[in-house]
Amino acid sequence: MRAITVPCASAWTLRSRSNNEWQGACHNAAMAQTSRAFINVGTLVGDHARAAMLLTLMDGRAHTASELAGVAGISPQTASSHLRRLLDGGILAVAVQGRHRYHRLASTEVADMLEGILRFSDQRPSLSPRTIRVDAGFRRARSCYQHLAGEYAVAISDHLLGTGAITASADHWQLTAHGADVLRAVGEPLAELMARSPKVKPERYCRGCLDCTERRPHMAGMVGEAMLQSFLLNRWLHRLEGRRELRVTPAGQAAFRRLFDVGD
């Protein structure tokens, strides 16, 4: 039988085509896997009951299944089923304390994703006089996961940026020595944070977070979280039961004017 010899150029072409086909198959498989993950996350947050529970958890606190069931208007058994899906999907985390299980958002990345959806949707229904008052309070001051959002938060950030207390770069904000002094005067736990240099990524330490109502950045990261905690401990802000809205107290109004030139 006569042997068939494949020219070197043809052999190289076959190998090249095989490599290209293999790379294309790998790319398609990776894209399919990413698409499935994308769809899974969309499905998890797209349900009405789960969305209601997730928006409640945007206040940065942990809640029991019964509390979240009440918010969503469903039975505790149904809520437990929804919460299990969110836990399995990495959207929520749970802490066990005695007989109680407390659910919270799994990470700041999850909170950022939810806040981004809110910014994109931003579809508000017609407002009754009562709803307008609630909406005005929500816009004024609220929790954005574990940091402050709303008009006061944006105005405070504008002041700190305008006075050189912080400088903004593409992916994070940098505190200056002057900024550390200003924030140290707010009190604990912010003062303690200003006294040390945590070994974390710059964007985890301090960054801007685009406000979903004001469409300008407020402060997030560890500095933003410690700032909100200090405001609450100082009784400059007061939490409203079952809501993300925060009430600015008279003491808070005076402090915000004095420290950040913010107020009515």
Residue 177 pLDDT greater than 50, yes or no: yes
In this predicted model, which residue has the larger pLDDT, 119 or 62? 62
pLDDT in tens, 120-164: 765 444 444 444 444 788 889 998 888 999 999 999 999 999 999
* 65 vs 133, higher pLDDT: 65
pLDDT in tens, 3-15: 555 455 555 555 5
Q: Which of 30-44, 93-107, 224-238 has the lowest mean pLDDT?
A: 30-44
**With 0-12 CB in 10 A as exposed, 13-18 as middle and 19+ as buried, what is 130?**
exposed
Number of Cα atoms under 13 Å in the Cβ half of residue 173: 25
Q: Provide the pLDDT for residue 130.
A: 44
Count of residues in the chain: 264
Q: What is the pLDDT of residue 101?
A: 87
pLDDT average, residue stretch 199-227:
89
Q: State the pLDDT at residue 183.
A: 94
Q: 48-57 and 76-88 helices cross at what angle (nearest 10)? A: 70
Report the pLDDT averaged over residues 15-28: 62
Among the residue ranges 34-43, 57-66, 75-84, 218-227, the one predicted with the least confidence is 34-43
User: Which has more pLDDT, 101 or 236?
Assistant: 236
* pTM for this prediction: 0.65
Q: What is the mean pLDDT of residues 33-51?
A: 81
Cis peptide before 250, with omega less than 30 degrees from 0?
no
Q: Is the pLDDT of residue 69 over 80?
A: yes
Q: Which residues of 40-50 are buried (b: 16+ CB within 10 A; e: fewer)?
A: eeeebbeeebb
| H-assigned helices in 149-198 | 151-162, 177-184, 190-194
